[in-house]
Amino acid sequence: MDRNLELYLDTFDKHLKSVPTSERIDIIKEIKSAMIEMEQKEGLTPQQITEKLGNPKDLAQAYLGESISKTPGFNWQKWKTVIAFYGAAGFSSMFVIPVLGILSPVLKLCGYFVPLAGLVKLIGYLVGYDLPIAIVQIGTFELHPIFSLVVSVIFGVLFYSLGRYLWRLLLEYIRKVSEKKRNLFVN
């Protein structure tokens, strides 16, 4: 068997430590026979086989979830896995969701209001009225109103882009946590 496939199996085996030894050996044999079948019957290269199987950690977690759901009644390993998942997900969610949930809409709003403030400053300058509320200041240096519009538009685009990115990150985080929960297969 190819060295890359052996490394894949070793990594996969390391992530299955909590599964009983006999069951772990059966799982490894099943994956190994699937690899050999893909190599011989489908003519796939070792690189294509590892890509098709995906991340060894994710594959191991799927087997762990299946193993947890098969064991009836109370099991210390099942209990530790569930506690670890909810502990990690709950603790991280306590910080991640509020921070991203607040920052993303605020940054999006700033993406609209910062260029608007730069435009108001420029219009005030063109009319001949200085607006002390709208200031673009870098350190102690205050920018000229014409340059302040350009700088405020650049910062507005950056704030809006960062807000969008953080919103996508929040949705991705929620999706991943939900997916992990579903993969536990705990009733």
Is residue 158 scored above 50 in pLDDT?
A: yes
Q: For tokens 């709950």, what's the residue?
A: 90
Q: How many CB atoms lie within 10 A of CB 64?
A: 22
Whether 88 and 175 share a structural domain: yes
Contacts of 120 (CB under 8 A, 6+ apart): 131, 134
Of 24, 52, 70, the residue that ends a domain is: 70
Give the 3-state secondary structure percentages of the chain, helix then strand then coil, rounded to 5. 80, 0, 20
- How large is the average pLDDT for residues 155-179? 91
pLDDT given at position 25: 83
- Give the residue from 57, 12, 61 showing the smallest Cα distance to 35: 12
pLDDT given at position 93: 78
In degrees, to the nearest 5, what angle opens at C-alpha 149 toward C-alphas 145 and 153? Answer: 160
Q: For tokens 């607006």, what's the residue?
A: 131
Of 14, 45, 70, the residue that ends a domain is: 70
Whether 65 and 93 share a structural domain: no
Give 17-67 pLDDT, tens digit per residue: 767 777 788 888 888 888 888 888 888 888 888 888 888 877 777 776 655
| Cα–Cα dist 148/130, whole Å | 13
Structure-token pair, residue 162: 């960062």
Which helix (H) or strand (E) element contains residue 137?
A: strand 137-138
pTM equals: 0.53
Domain range for 44 is: 3-70
> How far does the chain reach from its first CA to its final CA, in angstroms?
39
Q: How far is CA 129 from the centre of its chain?
A: 48
If one counts the domains in the chain, the total is 2
Is residue 4 scored above 90 in pLDDT?
A: no
Give 63-111 pLDDT, tens digit per residue: 766 555 555 556 666 667 767 777 777 777 788 888 999 999 999 999 9
| Cα–Cα dist 135/121, whole Å | 7
pLDDT given at position 165: 96
| Cα–Cα dist 182/8, whole Å | 25
| Cα–Cα dist 160/165, whole Å | 9
pLDDT given at position 179: 76
Whether 147 and 180 share a structural domain: yes
Of 21, 45, 70, the residue that ends a domain is: 70
